[in-house]
Amino acid sequence: MTNDNLFSALRAAFPADLNAVAIETDDGLKYSWRDLDRATAMVANLLHSLNLPDGSRVAVQVEKSVEAMVLYLATLRAGYVFLPLNTAYQSAEIEYFIGNAEPAVVVCSGANFGWVSKIAFKAGTQHVFTLNDDRTGSLLERAAHQSDQHQAAIRKADDLAAILYTSGTTGRSKGAMLTHGNMLSNARTLKDYWGWTSTGGPDGRGDVLIHALPIFHVHGLFVAIHGALINGSKMIWMAKFDPKRVIAHMAKATVFMGVPTLYVRMLSEPSLTKAATQNMRLFIAGSAPLLIETFTEWQQRTGHTILERYGMSETAMLTSNPYAADKRYANQSERRGGTVGFPLPDVSLQVIGEDGRKLPVGEIGGIQVKGPNVFKGYWRMPEKTAEEFTVDGYFKTGDVGKVDERGYVTIVGRSKDLIISGGYNVYPAEIEGYINEMKGVSESAVVGVQHPDFGEVGVAVVIAKLGTALKPEAILAELKANLANFKIPKRCFVVAELPRNTMGKVQKNLLREQYKGLF
C-alpha cells in the first residue's frame, strides 16, 4: 500500500549517513539525522499511546526549538493534524483557536501551562503537555519512555496534515486545512525550481540552510523546513533572528530565507559584505513586498540577487522568480525586483477584472490560483470556503496584481483589508473591533502606513464619544493587554472626524495618505 504521508517522503530524503549532522543550533548543539529519526519516532509513539481519534488536532504554542520541530514532524508521522500558534497570541486569541479547532492535544510552554491548560480543558482537550525551549517539559519526559522505532501512519494525499489559522477581513480567523499532498507537491516543486543540491557546498554535502524564521507560519515551518529536509540538507538553527549572527553563519551555509524586514536589518550591519556572503548560493525573500531599494542595495552590497517569491497560508508557494536559466523554463532566467516571478510549474494563475472577466497581459485585477498546493478549505466553514473559490475551482487570493508580457507576476496591492507588518498579518477589522468596544470610543479606523523596518505598520485613528476625553496611550495599553504584540498599532490619534465618501464609508486611502510620513 502506498503511503502519501508527508513525513515518509521527508524521511526517505534523509541522507544515507544517518550519523551526519542534520541540525546545528546557534548555540552549538548538534543533532544527527538519526537523532531526528529517533526523536520523531518517540514523540509519534507517545501520541499513538493516547488513542486519539483519527484526524485529531495537536495544537502547539511553544518557543522555537529543534524539539518543537520534532513535535511537528512527529505529528505528521503519527498521522495527526498539526496546528501551530504564534507565541505572541494572548489568552483571548488562544481561547478562540482552541475553541474552534477542538484539539485533542495541546502543547504549551511550562510558563503558560496555567492559563493555556485552563482554556484547553474547558474546550474539552484531554491532554495538555509542556515543552520548553531548553529541552525540558512533560512532552519529552513522557516521550523518553517510548520506543524509538515507529512506522509512519498510512495517509492519503488528500488527508489533513495541518491547519493554519489566518485572520479574516470580517468575522473571526479561519483555519486553512492543508493536506499531505498540498505540502509534498509544493516541497518537491521548490526543491527542483530553486536548485537544491546534495553535493558541493561548505562541507561537500550540498546545501546548508540558515533557519532564522519563526516556525508557526508557512514560511519558517513549511518552505524552510520542508525545503531542507526534502533535500537531506543540514540546517543552522537560530531560535531568534539576529542579523549579526546570521551574517556570521553565512561562511558555512548556502541558502537563507527571510521576510523583507530581515534583509533590511542585515543591510544595517557593516559586516554584510561580498566576502561574508561569498559561500552563499541563494537568498530568498517573501511573505511581504520586498522594496526595490532593498533588492538593489542587497545586490550592490553582496553581489547576490535576492529571489522573491509569493505565497499564502492557504496555498503555500504560488510564484517564484527563477533560480537560474533552465532550459525547461525557457525565457525565465532573470530575477526581477518588484516582481514575484512566474507561477510555479504546477500552479495556474489568472488575473480577473471586477466584472469577472479574465484580464489580458498588463492589466490589473484580482489574482486567482489553482494547483495541487491549494488548500482543501476552511475548517468547519463550508460557506466561507465556497465564497473564496470560483465555480471552476480557482481560489481567490485577495491579492491584486498583473502579469507582464514575459509572464512575470507583480503584486500591486490587496483587495482584502490587511496590513503586513514585518511579515506578520494584521487585520484592521480585528483591531478596530477591540477599540470600538472600549469605553468612550465612538468609532475607529486602523490603516497601514510605510515603515522603514517593518515595511508597513498599523496606525489607529479614533473618534471619542461626545463629551469624552480619550488618551491614545491608554487605548494602546488596553490593546496590548489583549492582543499579540505585533498587532498593536505603532501610533494612535484621537481625532474629531474620519474622512468619508458619499456612501458614508471611511476612506482609508485618505487616512493612509495623511499618515504616510509618520515613520
Q: Which of residues 218, 253, 349, 419 is near ligand AMP by CB under 6 A?
A: 218
517 contacts: CB under 8 Å, gap ≥ 6: none
Per CB under 6 A, 401 contacts ligand MLC: no
Judged by beta carbon, residue 180 or residue 217, the one nearer ligand AMP is 217
Number of residues that bind ligand AMP (CB under 6 A): 20
In three-state secondary structure terms, 269 is coil
Q: Is 322 in the site for ligand MLC (CB under 6 A)?
A: no
Nearest residue (CB) to ligand AMP, 420 versus 445: 420
CB of 19 to ligand MLC, least distance (A): 32
CB-CB contact of 184 with 174 (8 Å): no
Q: Out of ligand AMP, ligand MLC, none, which partner does residue 454 contact, by CB within 5 to 8 A per kind?
A: ligand MLC
Backbone angles phi, psi at 35, to 5 degrees: -55, -45
Cα end-to-end distance, the chain, whole Å: 58
Q: Which does 261 bind (CB under 5 to 8 A by kind): ligand MLC, ligand AMP, none?
A: ligand MLC
Q: Tell me which of ligand MLC, ligand AMP, none is bound by residue 399, counting a contact when its beta carbon lies within the kind-specific cut-off of 5 to 8 angstroms.
A: ligand AMP
By CB under 6 A, residue 377 contacts ligand MLC:
no
Q: How many CA atoms lie within 13 Å of 102's alpha carbon, on the beta-carbon side?
A: 7
By C-beta, is 68 or 128 nearer to ligand MLC?
Answer: 68
Write the interaction track for ligand MLC spanning residues 421-440; mark x where CB under 6 A is met and - where it is not. xxxx----------------
Count the neighbouring beta carbons within 10 Å of the beta carbon of residue 395. 21
Per CB under 6 A, 322 contacts ligand AMP = no
Looking at 313-432, which runs of residues are DSSP E strands? Answer: 316-320, 342-343, 348-352, 365-370, 377-378, 395-403, 409-414, 419-421, 424-426
**Nearest Cα residue to 26 out of 211, 200, 150:** 211
84 is an interface residue for ligand MLC by CB under 6 A: no
Q: Which of 39, 420, 435, 511 binds ligand AMP (CB under 6 A)?
A: 420
Query: Residue 75's closest CA among 34, 42, 112?
Result: 42
Describe the strand order of the beta sheet including 365-370 as a list of residue ranges: 348-352, 365-370, 395-403, 409-414
Tell me which of ligand AMP, ligand MLC, none is bound by residue 160, counting a contact when its beta carbon lies within the kind-specific cut-off of 5 to 8 angstroms.
Answer: none
Decide if 153 contacts 5 (C-beta within 8 A): yes
Binding of ligand AMP by 308 (CB under 6 A): yes
Looking at the Cβ atoms of 33 and 256, the one nearer to ligand MLC is 256
> Could you tell which of ligand MLC, ligand AMP, none binds residue 259, using a CB distance below 5 to 8 A set by kind?
ligand MLC
Which of 421, 472, 450 minimizes the C-alpha distance to 517? 450
Q: Which DSSP state fits 27?
A: T
Q: How far is the CB of 486 from ligand MLC (least distance, A)?
A: 4
Which residue's CB is nearer to ligand AMP, number 168 or number 472?
Answer: 168
What residues have CB less than 8 Å from 245, skipping those under 6 apart? 26, 238
Displacement of CA 81 from its chain's centroid (Å): 17
425 near ligand AMP, rule: CB under 6 A: yes
Spatial CA neighbour of 147 closest among 227, 77, 221, 234 = 77
Per CB under 6 A, does 487 bind ligand AMP? no
DSSP symbol at 240: S
**If binding is defined by CB under 6 A, does position 414 make contact with ligand MLC?**
no
Q: Which is nearer to ligand AMP, 126 or 166 (CB)?
A: 166
Asked if 132 is part of the footprint of ligand AMP (rule: CB under 6 A), the reply reads no
Q: How far is the CB of 102 from ligand AMP (least distance, A)?
A: 22
> At which residue does the C-alpha cell 512575470 appear?
408
Question: Residue 467 corresponds to which cell in the numbers above?
Answer: 463629551
Q: What gap in Å lies between CA 312 and CA 183, rounded to an integer?
A: 12
Residue 394 dihedral angles phi and psi, to the nearest 5° = -85, 140
- Contact between 343 and ligand AMP (CB under 6 A)? no
What values do phi and psi take at 462, rounded to 5?
-125, 140
Single residue of 84, 258, 289, 428 touching ligand AMP by CB under 6 A:
289
Q: 421: exposed, middle or buried (C-beta count within 10 Å: 0-12, 13-18, 19+)?
A: buried
Cell of 38: 529517533
Residue 428 interacting partner from ligand MLC, ligand AMP, none (CB closer than 5 to 8 Å by kind): none
CB of 92 to ligand MLC, least distance (A): 17
- For residues 245-264, which are near ligand MLC according to CB under 6 A? 259, 261
* Residues binding ligand AMP (CB under 6 A): 166, 217-218, 286-289, 308, 310-313, 340, 397-399, 411, 414, 420, 425
* Residues binding ligand MLC (CB under 6 A): 213-214, 217-220, 241, 259, 261, 286-287, 311-312, 421-424, 454, 457, 485-486
